[in-house]
Amino acid sequence: MPEVKNDQDTQCRPQRQGSIVFVWYLLCLLVPLSLAQSASAQNLPDFTELVEENSNAVVNISTTTEPKSAGSGRSHDLPFNDRQLEQLPEFFQDFFRGPQSPFGGSPGGSAPRQSMGSGFIVSSDGYVLTNNHVVEGADEIIVRLNDRRELPAKLVGTDPRSDMAVLKIEGGDDLPVVRVGRSKDLKVGEWVLAIGSPFGFDYTVTAGIVSALGRSLPSENYVPFIQTDVAINPGNSGGPLFNLDGEVVGINSQIYTRSGGFMGVSFAIPIDDAMNVFRQIRDNGSVSRGWLGVLIQEVNRDLAESFGLKRPRGALVAEVMVGSPAEKAGLQAGDIVLEYSGEDVTLSSDLPPMVGRTPVGETATM
């Protein structure tokens, strides 16, 4: 028995040594890799504290819109009454009652339409910023807070040109608020974070970087949008876009998509422009913008060469409207605006937001 035991010990020693050597080499390989991954992870932002500090001031907005009365639609043209429709196959019922029906649906057959979006509180007495398209046409607006309270809100005012709306929570007091930053300090490549309710999933957090600044979209000439790659989907509209300091720098508003969902390109309203709209709506109930009275077009390479410019830049005046401030100032078709009140006009799309931000009655130099 002792001899057998000694033989086993003798056989086991080399195996133990081999195992120790193998583990040693494995550690030599994995430790540097782990340290490299740890160093790489240290360069990535940690959003946890930012989310914890700001989620309370982000709200979910749900709206209810009552169906139009039968007299205002085409329902009276329906060739069947409700009882006759119920005797038809389901396919035909859907055809005549559906929202895409050429007959406008069945009288009394439409249910209230509900929609959802996001927003954020900018004052402790309950002012909330969101998108105009979130609350447009709504008969009832309910704001749900992070603590699950649901409070009614009234619509203070809207500005469809910038897709902005201002709400006031009724019955709210000493509410949590966001910290407002400065969108003009943003830089391309900077990390940003969104909090919202995509598809109704409350307080969803998504992150990305600023992809571009000063984007002009065909539908919104007065807004120099912030372009990001932050995932934005239906329900995120109106929610805040934060920088790493926990300050709101934009309002998530639109996406570019061919599928109906997020495709890596989203747009936010700069908070500088949004707060200007908010203050005007809060104080005056409406928004006024500067107006120049010109039609402009882009300066391409050929036009730049013909006008003696070293490179394409500025906004080419294509037409001056009669009686406009531009006409009184002496602008003529064929002029190129290169600077407006000390700001360079690089693209023609730069000019409308500059003019729009100018208070009515103020003198601007070009």
The pLDDT score that the predictor gives to residue 236 is 93
Instruction: Tell whether 73 is covered by a domain.
Output: no
Is 90 exceeded by the pLDDT of residue 277? Answer: yes
Is 90 exceeded by the pLDDT of residue 214? Answer: no
Question: Is 279 in the same domain as 192?
Answer: yes
- Across the range 80-102, mean pLDDT stands at 53
Instruction: Tell whether 350 is covered by a domain.
Output: yes
Most confident option among 56-60, 90-94, 255-259, 295-299: 56-60
Question: Is 214 in the same domain as 246?
Answer: yes
CATH number, domain containing residue 220:
2.40.10.10
Mean pLDDT across the chain, nearest whole number?
81
Question: Is 183 in the same domain as 279?
Answer: yes
Instruction: Tell whether 271 is covered by a domain.
Output: yes
Instruction: Tell whether 13 is covered by a domain.
Output: no
More confident residue, 297 or 73: 297
The pLDDT score that the predictor gives to residue 239 is 95
- Across the range 58-85, mean pLDDT stands at 63
Question: Is 265 in the same domain as 196?
Answer: yes
Instruction: Tell whether 238 is covered by a domain.
Output: yes
Is 60 exceeded by the pLDDT of residue 259? Answer: yes
Question: Is 275 in the same domain as 329?
Answer: no
Instruction: Tell whether 142 is covered by a domain.
Output: no
Question: Is 350 in the same domain as 253?
Answer: no
The model's confidence at residue 44, banded by pLDDT at 50, 70 and 90, is confident
Q: Return the percentage of the chain with pLDDT > 90, whole number.
A: 42
The pLDDT score that the predictor gives to residue 115 is 82
The model's confidence at residue 262, banded by pLDDT at 50, 70 and 90, is confident
Question: Is 186 in the same domain as 279?
Answer: yes
Question: Is 209 in the same domain as 266?
Answer: yes
Q: What is the 3-state secondary structure (H, E, C) of the chain?
A: CHHHHHHHHHHHHHHHHHHHHHHHHHHHHHHHHHHHHHHHHHCCCCCHHHHHHHHHHEEEEEEEECCCCHHHCCHHHCCCCHHHHHCCCHHHHHHHHCCCCCCCCCCCCCCCEEEEEEEEECCCCCEEEEEHHHHCCCCEEEEECCCCCEEEEEEEEEECCCCEEEEEECCCCCCCCCEECCHHHCCCCCEEEEEECHHHCCCEEEEEEEEEEEEEECCEEEEEEEEECCCCCCCCCCCEEECCCCEEEEEEEEECCCCCCCCCCEEEEEHHHHHHHHHHHHHHCCCCCCCCCEEEEECCHHHHHHCCCCCCCCEEEEEECCCCHHHHHCCCCCCEECEECCEECCCHHHHHHHHHHCCCCCCCCC
Question: Is 341 in the same domain as 319?
Answer: yes
The model's confidence at residue 99, banded by pLDDT at 50, 70 and 90, is low
- Across the range 121-142, mean pLDDT stands at 93
Domain that holds residue 265: 179-284
Is 90 exceeded by the pLDDT of residue 83? Answer: no
More confident residue, 225 or 107: 225
Domain stop point among 233, 251, 284:
284
What is the length of the chain? 366
The pLDDT score that the predictor gives to residue 77 is 44
Domain tally for the chain? 2
The model's confidence at residue 107, banded by pLDDT at 50, 70 and 90, is very low
Question: Is 316 in the same domain as 280?
Answer: no
The predicted model scores a pTM of 0.72
CATH number, domain containing residue 313:
2.30.42.10
Is 60 exceeded by the pLDDT of residue 59? Answer: yes
Instruction: Tell whether 84 is covered by a domain.
Output: no
More confident residue, 24 or 245: 245
Q: What is the pLDDT of residues 143-201, one digit of tens each?
A: 999 988 999 999 999 999 899 999 999 876 789 999 999 999 999 999 999 999 998 89
Instruction: Tell whether 334 is covered by a domain.
Output: yes
The pLDDT score that the predictor gives to residue 32 is 59
Catalytic residues: 133, 163, 237
Question: Is 186 in the same domain as 273?
Answer: yes
